[in-house]
Amino acid sequence: MKHAFIVFVFAIGMLSAGLVTFAGGSRAHEQEVSVDWDVAYANIQVLGPPIYTRYACPCTPPLTGGTSVPAVNSGSGYPTLTLRTGDDLVITWSFRYVAASVVRGDLFWITRLGLDFATIGRYINGQWIGASSFELTPNTRYDATMVLRSVQPTFRHLHVGVSVQNVGNIPTAPTVAGVGGLPPMPTLYGAFTDASGPVTEPVMLNVPNFGTVGLLAPWPWAVGSLAAQIVIGFVFIGIMWWYGRYTARKEAKQ
């Protein structure tokens, strides 16, 4: 029984630590400590804060009548866009590639969990690039656009950035700050999104011999697997409890 008690306490401790981590990490992306900013600044210069524009949907291109806010780099708080799930969010920003060699680049967006938006379109200099990368030419300006769709009712901080071949992911941040020049770890440009409404599927798929499925809907086998794991877990706990009682009674008789 001592072993079972230790396992129980360990599980509770891990759960508590996870809750503390999530609570304290609500502003985790405001400063990105995993980026080597000296290297980032030697490759990308962000030319200004991204503009976040919300379009109430259902809507079809061209999108019109949106509500815009500029991203900021403020530790005291970002602007907030209020969304309904299913709305489109268009984010535009410009950057200059300043390294010496021609490489491939990519666009990305980040939230804490990464499940809050669907990527509808990605554009460089007005040209749709789909899921492809694009060529980065030294000393060239690029105008980037990402079209996202809110799919889950959550409050998240949203950032965008550029991936550079052989360098890594560089989120948008001010290139120069203050008299001291380049900061070692700048506060990122970003905005909060406060979405409400039911979960919205970004796209529905028709699978042959199966039917129509959604990318976010739980599949039957996944639900069944989860239920089976829960049952097996309780059975294991019951067996361990019975074995502990049996061992205790056996020791008491001796």
Q: What is the pLDDT of residues 6-47, one digit of tens each?
A: 444 444 454 444 433 333 333 334 677 778 888 999 999 999
pTM: 0.67
Bigger pLDDT: 39 vs 64? 39
Burial grade of 145 (CB within 10 A; 0-12, 13-18, 19 or more): buried
- 101 residue type, one letter: S
pLDDT at 163: 95
**Distance between the two ends of the chain, CA-based, in angstroms?**
18
**pLDDT the model gives residue 183:** 63
Helices 220-253/2-24 angle, 10° precision: 140
Q: Which amino acid, one-letter code, is at 97? A: Y
Which two tokens mark 200?
């919205």
Average confidence (pLDDT) over 88-116: 91
Cα gap 17→25, rounded to integer Å? 12
**Residues paired with 135 in a beta bridge:** 104
Among residues 102, 98, 178, 170, the alpha carbon closest in space to that of 141 is found at 98
* Distance (Å) of CA 224 to CA 77, 167, 206, 221, 229: 42, 42, 22, 5, 9
Task: Output the CA torsion 62→68→71→77 (10° steps).
Answer: -140
Number of residues in the chain: 254
CA distance 70 to 48: 9
Architecture per CATH, 31-205: Sandwich (2.60)
pLDDT on residue 60: 61
pLDDT tens-digit readout, 201-247:
776 656 666 566 665 555 555 667 777 888 888 888 989 888 888 88
Instruction: Say what the pLDDT of residue 122 is.
Output: 93
